[in-house]
Structure 1
Amino acid sequence: MLLTKQEEYSKKIRELGPLSSDAFETYKRRSIKELYKMLHKCNEQLQQFSHVNKKALDQYVNFTEQREELQRRQAELDAGDEKIKELISVLDQRKDESIERTFKGVAKHFREVFSELVQGGHGFLVMMKKKVAAL
């Protein structure tokens, strides 16, 4: 029965985490009464920290992971935003080129038709561009 208890307590000690190599030797030579006093003193000292948030480390890890995920998503959105701006710029350029090409065709036909309608006359179209303030 004592061996079972000893093994059970050894297992619990191992679950606490890594201990220094001399930890068992240091406390092995002490009496049970002395160990109980030390345990009681440690418990009293731990009571001083009862107000400390015991889940703080878990919360920190969770919030850090959330922050990293949000930063990754922000980087994706920023990259997408840049691609959209590039597309808008290309489409605006194509639109302007198309309008210019269409206007030149209409202006050419206008000159031809005008000269046929008005003998000896010359007519032409001029595109008036309005300067728009940049947003």
Structure 2
Amino acid sequence: MMGGGVMGSNRDKGAAAVEFAFVSLLLITLLFGILDGGRLFLIQSALSHAAREGAREMAIHNNRSGAEDVIRNYPGALGAVIMPSVTPSNCTEGNTVVAQAASTVRTLTGFNVPLTGEARMRCGG
């Protein structure tokens, strides 16, 4: 014959605690994954917008350092350090300028993820 009802309920409590530990670990991992994914998506979007604004600056004003400053100082990148790149250095009519905004973002879980935004724009006259 099994022990009394008290012994069985202690085992049930212990099993419930172990199950809760496994489920809560899974839910916390899922939560951090969702937060990291959303943050990376937002920064990727900001990098793409920064590259577009830099390409526009270069295409209109033919000012490479100004275009790189526009990319570097783009607001909304959540504190990501943006490394700009604009080619070619001289924007002549009919050519296409390529602007890139790159950053390496550290996730909440400790991984470094490289992100890049790129834009192309035809140079004006």
Q: Please give the range of the TM-score, normalised by the shorter of the 2 chains.
A: 0.3 to 0.5
Q: Which has the higher strand share?
A: 2
Q: Which has the higher contact order (CA 8 A, sep 6+)?
A: 2
Q: Which has the higher helix share?
A: 1
TM-score (ref. length: structure 1): 0.45
TM-score (ref. length: structure 2): 0.48
